[in-house]
Amino acid sequence: MSYEMVCGIETHIELSTATKIFCGCSTAFGGAPNTHCCPICTGQPGALPTLNEKVVEYAITAGLATNCKINAVTHLDRKNYCYPDLPKAYQISQYDKPLCEHGYIALDSGKKIGITRIHIEEDAGKLMHEGGFTFIDYNRGGVPLIEIVSEPDISSPEEAREYAEKLRLIMRAVGVSDCRMQEGSMRCDVNISLKEKGSGAFGTRTEIKNMNSLSHMVKALEYEYSRQEDILKSGGKVEQATLRFDERTGETYVMRTKEDAQDYRYFPEPDLLTVVIPQEKIDSLKAALPELPDARYKRYTRDLGINPHSARLIYAYSNVCAFIDGVIALGGGVKNTVNLTVGTIFSTLPSEGDKEEFAIKVTAGEMAKLVKLLDGGFINVTMAQKTLASMLAEGKAVEAYISQSDTAKVDEGELEKICADALKANPKVKEDFKAGKEKAIFALFGYVKKQTGGRADMRKAEEILRKLLSE
């Protein structure tokens, strides 16, 4: 008997609002424990919530970017459960009327992974277990979340990874979240079951909670597939449960028996009004959507001719792309702009966060000046790289490093003489070249570069040298 994976992902994404969903407390990451909280987000008696309008706007933006239908009339619900990370013993979420429904994300293969719903809710506090005690930090409690629930359309760990990665890129591109999984601002609960190949009947699912790494997600799915397959092949029955993935062992283990919706006793939140969204608001948010990552990647590779490898290095970072587009708009050549960015600039930005922020001391205007000098053959690649490195370190203009004499081209007559001198200084090159060793010509390039101070048009120099070698 062979089996197929059936997988759906519930993705919790913290929104990049300045304040929490129902109060004015800061959402800043970090801070001393229990310093970003108040009577509202800790559920004190008599404290009443007020919905943050920006949360609704961000959730609608996320829905529009993932091809969802927006429900113009919606409400919030109470989801009742009793854990210490939610001191009021319920979470304000959405149940029967989510803000966004029926969207999708297209994979590179063309397959569409359906999105069932996107709803808004509040995050819980954080439990820390040390020395036999449990400590609670409520700073995260009340931070606004969207939960994006996919259809069970995912058929492999690789598809799960691609779906989650595309979702992360989209949310970053539209500016609703930084989606830093290492900080918990994007977390995935992965549902997996197995069905007999070709069958329409789904098996019993398990849910792997709080995946905060795409690579760990893949490993967890691979392990859980094998575990369930072994149970089924031995005649056993998979039990519905909530699991945790142990990164050290690469295995899943049971946390608790899985709850169903009826266990949460949802009912409409009595302390918040129905949310009514004017169509003009939805239309304005749709018009404000930026270019999405897939469209940007296609434009870079198809329209600008950037090679796929380089395009993948840059298209995920909106600030980087805005910079590159700005340089090209000011006349910088595409190839040299991209090469200098992913080479020299990226070497100074080691982390993902550094590239996202892209806080460099070089403007698109100054970069365009430098690239145009390189495009025109006034400077060589080495000089361009050294100049850019200095500009990044000191923030000065191109003219501070490259003088007019540095960019004076070597005229053709002078270049012909230098090429002839190079051949005289290296007589064996001609013999080797005529014997079929074409790479021998490279020995002459260093001489030409040195004699011209790197100002020679090396394409023209190569043409002259080949002519001389063939005589």
How far, in Å, CA of 449 to CA of 465, rounded?
13
Distance of CA 389 to the CA centre of its chain: 26
Per DSSP, the chain holds a count of helices (H) and strands (E) of: 15, 16
Q: Which of 378, 400, 422 is the last residue of a domain?
A: 400
Same structural domain, 12 and 57: yes
Same structural domain, 277 and 296: no
**Helix, coil or strand: residue 312:** helix
Same structural domain, 171 and 199: yes
- Asked whether residue 124 is domain-assigned, the answer is yes
Same structural domain, 14 and 60: yes
Q: How many domains are there within the chain?
A: 3
Same structural domain, 314 and 349: yes
Q: Which residue range(s) make up the domain with 156?
A: 3-284
Q: What letters, b where the CB count within 10 A reaches 16 and e where it falls short, cover 121-143?
A: bbbbbeeeeeeeeeebbbbbbbb
- Asked whether residue 389 is domain-assigned, the answer is yes
Q: Which of 284, 306, 341 is the last residue of a domain?
A: 284
The single-letter DSSP state of residue 139 is G
Same structural domain, 94 and 184: yes
- Asked whether residue 405 is domain-assigned, the answer is no
Same structural domain, 266 and 304: no
Please calculate the CA angle 315-318-323 and round it to the nearest 5 degrees: 95
Same structural domain, 147 and 65: yes
Same structural domain, 273 and 347: no
What does the pLDDT profile of the chain (471 residues) look like in tens digits? 799 999 999 999 999 999 999 999 999 988 899 999 999 999 999 999 999 999 999 999 999 999 999 999 999 999 998 888 999 999 999 999 999 999 999 999 999 999 999 999 999 999 998 999 999 999 999 999 999 999 999 999 999 999 999 999 999 999 999 999 988 899 999 999 999 988 888 899 999 998 999 999 999 999 999 999 999 999 999 999 999 999 999 999 888 765 565 678 899 999 999 999 999 999 999 999 999 999 999 999 999 999 999 999 999 999 999 999 999 999 999 999 999 999 999 999 999 889 999 999 999 999 999 999 999 888 888 889 999 999 999 999 999 998 765 665 667 788 888 888 888 888 888 878 877 788 878 888 888 888 877 777 777 888 888 888 887
Same structural domain, 378 and 425: no
Same structural domain, 262 and 356: no
Same structural domain, 373 and 447: no
- Asked whether residue 73 is domain-assigned, the answer is yes
**Helix, coil or strand: residue 122:** strand
pTM of the model: 0.84
* Spatial contact of 178 and 58, defined as CB atoms under 8 Å apart: no
Radius of gyration of the chain (CA): 30
**Helix, coil or strand: residue 195:** strand
Q: What is the CATH number of the domain that holds 426?
A: 1.10.10.410
